[in-house]
Structure 1
Amino acid sequence: MKTEIIHTHDYPDREGLAIALAAGIAAQLAGAVAERGEASLAVSGGSTPKRLFQVLAETDIPWDRVTIILVDERICPPDSDRANQRLVRETLLQDKAAAAHFVAYETAYELPIENAEKSADLFAGLPWPLDVAVLGMGTDGHTASFFPHGDRLDDALDMATESRVLPMQAEGAGEPRLTLTLAALLDARFLALHIEGQEKRDVFDMALAGTDAGSMPVRAVLHQDKTPVHIFWAP
C-alpha cells in the first residue's frame, strides 16, 4: 500500500468534523457543476452522518445540478426506520439541498438480484464517475455493504467487475442489502471515510495494520493504490 493514499483529518469534536466535511463536499460538488454542469454524490446511512447531512443541507451550492444516491441500502420498505433513504430524505434533502435530485435504490422486488439489476438501471443515467463518495464503517470492519464473509463479497471487491450494484447477504447485515461495488466507489473523484468515536478509531487502526479484506472488508478501500482516501474522525 502506498502511504500517500491515506489522508487523515482529525477534529476535536463531531460538530467541527461535520462542518469541515460538509465544506469539503460542497466545494467538490460546486467545482464539478462549474466544470461539467452537473455533479454526483453518494452518501452512507447509519447514525454517524446525521449531523453532516444537516450542515450540508444548509450549504449554498447549485443543488439543482446535483444528483444524490446512497452507497448502500437495506432491502426494506422506503419508509422503514431501517431504510437509509428515509434518513437521506429527512435530514439531507431539506433546506437548500431540497433542490437536489435523489435516486433511491429499487427495493420492491422479491429477489435481491432483481432489486440490484433494477437499481443499476436507475443509476445508469447518473453522472459517472461519482464526484464525491462518503463511506462509513461498522465496528465489524464493514463499509458500504461489504460485510465480513458476505455471500457476494468477492464479487463486490473485484476491481474488474463491470457491475455498479450488487446484492449482499451476510450474518451481520440483518436484511439483504444492495451496494455499490468497490470499482464504482474507487472511481470517485473525492472519497471520504467518516468515522466517529474511539471504538471506530481502534477498528480503523486494526484494519490499517492488516490485509485480510475477508474479515475486515474496509481494508479493500484502505489497501489499494488507485484512489486517495480521506479519513475524517472525531472522538
Structure 2
Amino acid sequence: MQILQIYENASGKEVLLKAVATAIPAYNMSCFLLPKRVLNQMTKAMRKFWWSSAKDKQGIPWKVAHNSISTAENLHKRKMVADSTCQLCGEHQETTNHLIFQCRVNGSWTSPTNNAGIGWTLFNTDGRIILEGKAAIEPVNSPLDAEAEALRMAVVQMRKLGYHIVTFYGDSSEIYDTLSNSHQASPSSIKGNHCPTYMKDIVNLAKESNYCFGFQKVKRTCNGVADKLAKEGRITNSGYVVRWKNNV
C-alpha cells in the first residue's frame, strides 16, 4: 500500500483505485470465492485511501461538511459568477452534493409478463461517464416498478463501490420528487405511490449517516444514456453488467 502515498490529489487517487487497486484481485476472484472478511478489508482500505486527507490539507469529507468546495452556488454567493446553475444538467443549482457524482437511472418495461431492463450511468465532476451498469430483471407490474428497481439497484451498487456522495437522477416525478422530500425521513412516511416496497428499500439504503445520497427529477431528454442501457439490458436479456469507461 506504500504506492498509494504517491497520489495525494483526488484525480490521482481516483485513477489509481480504478486502474490498480481494483484490478489486483481480479485474477484470484475469477478462480476463487474470496471470504467476505477479505472483501470487506479491501473495501475498507480503498475507502480509507480515497477519503483520507492529503498531507497538510483538509480532505474531501471536511470540505463537504463545511461546504467549502468551489461550486457555482458558493461562487455565486461570493459574487464571483452570475449564475449558479449546473453547466452539466442545465436545470439545478450546482451545490456540493449535486457536483460530486451524478448517477442517471432509468428502467425499460413492455409488459407484466416480460423481463424488464434497468440502466444507470455515473458521471464525475467533469461531466464524463466513468461507470455504467445494465441488466434484465424479472417481470414487474408496471413501468414505475421498473424505474424504482433500477434506482434501488443503482443505490446498492454505489454503496458497494464506496461512493458516499451521489445525486441520483431519473425522469419519474412520482419516484424522485417523493424521495427528494422524504428520503431523510422514516421509511414509513413514504406513502401514496404505487411501489412502496421499492421506495422504502431505497430510503433505508440511503439514510445511513456515512452516505449523502440525493434524488432529483430530470427531463426525459436528459436521461438518454441510461434509457439506452436499460433497453439494451432488456432486449439482450443481459445479466448484471457493470463496467468502467475508458475515458476516465
State if a TM-score over 0.5 links the two structures.
no
Rg larger in 1 or in 2? 2
TM-score (norm 2): 0.27
TM-score (norm 1): 0.28
Q: For CA contacts below 8 A with separation 6 or more, give which structure has more relative contact order.
A: 1
